[in-house]
Amino acid sequence: MLAAVRIRAHAPLLSRSGQWLGSILAAAAFAAGAAWADQEPRLVTPNDATTGALLLKSSTPGKYIEAPSLLTDVQIDISGPIARTRVTQRFENTTDGWIEGIYVFPLPDESAVDTLRMQIGDRFIEGMIEERQKAKAIYEQAKSEGRKTALLEQERPNLFTNSIANIGPGETIIVQIEYQETVRLTDDQFSLRFPMVVGPRYNPAPQILTASLGDDGWAVVDPVPDRTRISPPVLNPDLGNTNPLTLNVSLNAGFPVGELESTYHPMDVDWSGANAATLTLSAGSVPANRDFELTWRPKASHAPSAALFRETVEGEPYYLLMVTPPVTSHAAPPPPREITFIIDTSGSMGGESIRQARQSLAMAVQRLSPGDRFNVIEFNSVTNALFDHPVDATPSNLARATRWVEGLEATGGTEMLPALREALADHGNADGRLRQVIFLTDGAIGNEQQLFETISRKRKDARIFTVGIGSAPNSFFMSRAAELGQGTFTHIGNVDEVAARMSALFTKLESPAITNVAATWPDGSAVEAWPSPLPDVYAGETLVIAAHAAAKDGLVWVSGLNGDQPWKVGLPLKQAADRAGISKLWARKKISSLELDRARSDTLPDLVDDQILSVALAHHLVSRLTSLVAVDVTPTRPDGAVLDSAAIPLNLPAGWDFGKVFGHDGIRSDAPMIPVDALALRKPDAHGANAPMQVERGVPLPNTGTLSDLKLLAGIILVLMGFMLKLVFRRIRPHAA
Q: Which residue type occupies 154?
A: Q
Compare residues 132 and 148 and give the one whose CB is closer to another protein: 132
Smallest separation (angstroms) from another protein to the CB of 706: 6
Q: Which stretch binds another protein (CB under 8 A): 39-47, 88-96, 297-305, 342-350?
A: 342-350
What does the per-residue mask of binding to another protein show for 510-549, with x meaning CB under 8 A?
Answer: ----------------------------------------
Q: Is residue 126 part of the contact set for another protein (CB under 8 A)?
A: no
Q: Is residue 605 part of the contact set for another protein (CB under 8 A)?
A: no
In sequence order, which residues have a C-beta less than 8 Å from that of residue 302 and are 6 or more positions away?
255, 256, 258
Smallest separation (angstroms) from another protein to the CB of 382: 10
What distance in Å separates the CA atoms of residue 588 and residue 357, rounded to the nearest whole number?
Answer: 33
Compare residues 300 and 707 and give the one whose CB is closer to another protein: 707
Nearest Cα to 224, choosing from 647, 695, 698?
695
Look at the chain and count its residues.
Answer: 737
Q: Is residue 349 part of the contact set for another protein (CB under 8 A)?
A: yes
Question: Can you spell out the DSSP letters for 263-330?
Answer: SSS-EEEEESSSSEEEEEETTSSEES-S-EEEEEEEPTT---SEEEEEEEETTEEEEEEEE-------
What distance in Å separates the CA atoms of residue 163 and residue 150, rounded to the nearest whole number?
Answer: 5
Compare residues 228 and 429 and give the one whose CB is closer to another protein: 228
Q: Is residue 365 part of the contact set for another protein (CB under 8 A)?
A: no
Instruction: Give residues 155-184 in contact with another protein (rule: CB under 8 A).
Output: 155
Instruction: Give residues 475-514 in contact with another protein (rule: CB under 8 A).
Output: 493-494
Give, in order, the Cα–Cα distances in Å from 510 to each of 430, 439, 539: 17, 17, 10
SS3 letters across 388-433: CCCEECCHHHHHHHHHHHHCCCCCCCCCHHHHHHHHHCCCCCCCCC
> Is the CB of residue 657 less than 8 Å from the CB of residue 41?
yes
Smallest separation (angstroms) from another protein to the CB of 498: 13
Q: Is residue 134 part of the contact set for another protein (CB under 8 A)?
A: no
Compare residues 393 and 678 and give the one whose CB is closer to another protein: 678
Strand pairing class (147-156; 128-131): unpaired
Q: Which stretch binds another protein (CB under 8 A): 247-255, 345-353, 397-405, 606-614?
A: 345-353
Nearest Cα to 4, choosing from 241, 223, 230?
223
Instruction: Give residues 224-243 in contact with another protein (rule: CB under 8 A).
Output: 225-233, 235
The one among 274, 425, 550, 712 contacting another protein by CB under 8 A: 712
Compare residues 149 and 414 and give the one whose CB is closer to another protein: 414
Q: Is residue 356 part of the contact set for another protein (CB under 8 A)?
A: no
Smallest separation (angstroms) from another protein to the CB of 473: 10
Instruction: Give residues 692-711 in contact with another protein (rule: CB under 8 A).
Output: 692-711
Cα 209 to chain centroid, rounded: 24
Q: Is residue 370 part of the contact set for another protein (CB under 8 A)?
A: no
Compare residues 221 and 257 and give the one whose CB is closer to another protein: 221
The one among 350, 418, 432, 572 contacting another protein by CB under 8 A: 350
Instruction: Give residues 452-471 in contact with another protein (rule: CB under 8 A).
Output: 470-471
Residue count at the site for another protein (CB under 8 A)? Answer: 87
Instruction: Kindly compute the dihedral angle of the four CA atoms of residues 691, 692, 696, 700, in this order, to the nearest 10 degrees.
Output: 0
Smallest separation (angstroms) from another protein to the CB of 156: 9
In sequence order, which residues have a C-beta less than 8 Å from that of residue 120 and are 6 or more positions away?
148, 173, 632, 636
What distance in Å separates the CA atoms of residue 89 and residue 715, rounded to the nearest whole number?
Answer: 61
Q: Is residue 595 part of the contact set for another protein (CB under 8 A)?
A: no
Q: Which stretch binds another protein (CB under 8 A): 184-192, 370-378, 652-660, 725-733?
A: 725-733
Nearest Cα to 291, choosing from 207, 205, 200?
200
